[in-house]
Structure 1
């Protein structure tokens, strides 16, 4: 009977302790409920204030998330102090400090991408809809989240890129400006007048609808003496999207080819000159010598 008596005494002690802590538990639950209401009101007011700004939607989500975390942390800390009177805000913060170090080491990559995402969201250079290139990844920015960015490649595939990759490496933003310079090489035969060829090419490029001529000049330079042609560097400005550059190249190449054909200017293919150490007799001459 002695073990039963001891067990009953322990259960009675636990029951008394639970009853004694009920008022504190009720107040702690009330604090949690009030915290939930405060989070709802604070987030609604913050979103209303952020809607008037020009911040990105993802950045607005970051601010609301940080606001929610801060209010919840304060509410839970107050509830813990009420429920366990031995705790103090200083001891809770000290425990959180030690715990945050351990969590930081365990989730280093997650926090790295999180911080990189916040910095990227503050950048105005890379926006939703821009075409970018980074570490062999090229495509359209579909979404910028807190930890990752979504890049839609030109072939339709979606690449989810960690924000730390975009933060640590150089990023080429192809649509930062409305226009981009495009260059092709065009060769003409050596017996063609260089100035005449340049004029024909310039007129052909200027007649293209995809070539911008407002404040960006068309530039044509004789670049080099090729193996079978004089090579011209043909440069113009067109839309910055990848499809714009492909469409413009197609039009320019077609019109330059047609203009050179109409002007009787040859676009040569490579010629080869064969040199033999010994003289070779011609076929007709060898038959005459045999006769």
Structure 2
């Protein structure tokens, strides 16, 4: 397995505590974001908006409606992806917007996961209960904590046939800038994806000077033990999420869309 760009080494403990800040004990203040569905939707078109709750400030960045999640949700809601009878897994789900769109478009089971932080998981469960009607979410949308790379096989417990099924679609929305955990993320994906499944990866280069480290994710994904192919299939210009960050605004405002699939023997 080759080294990351610039031969830099990022080390992370199993607990991930040296990478993620600890959540504050202060009382959490929430804000709300309303996602407006496309006018052209054909599935559950009576549901025109999806309200999600965000913690106003969170050390794991769950307080933001990320461009990559909004752009991917629009893509899913355009009818470009067949979700019928598919099992869907989202890693680092945060508010879970792409997962809700997958459910509205016919997914059989949708599992939202995020870092095992009480505030994160509590808010994720709140959104599952409130973002879409019970007729959509009941027995179909679940939320669970998951530490990337740790016992991914336990995620199968929430499928209808845990011994025979895996996930047909995995969602990675603005996660690959977590450079130190790219291998852990891919380990979960490699264990959880069905043989003919698809991984949707969307992201922006929030720090253009670290673009090479962002893109190293796809080189890493192609190597053992992951063995994925990758293909860029779209990009979309939005607004830069962090106005004060360094680097060209156009670069920081662009959302990139990639597909990962298992290599065929």
Report the TM-score when normalising by structure 1: 0.20
Report the TM-score when normalising by structure 2: 0.21
- Structure showing the higher strand proportion among its residues: 2
- Structure showing the higher helix proportion among its residues: 1
Q: Which has the larger radius of gyration?
A: 1
By relative contact order (CA 8 Å, sep 6+), the higher-ranking structure is: 2
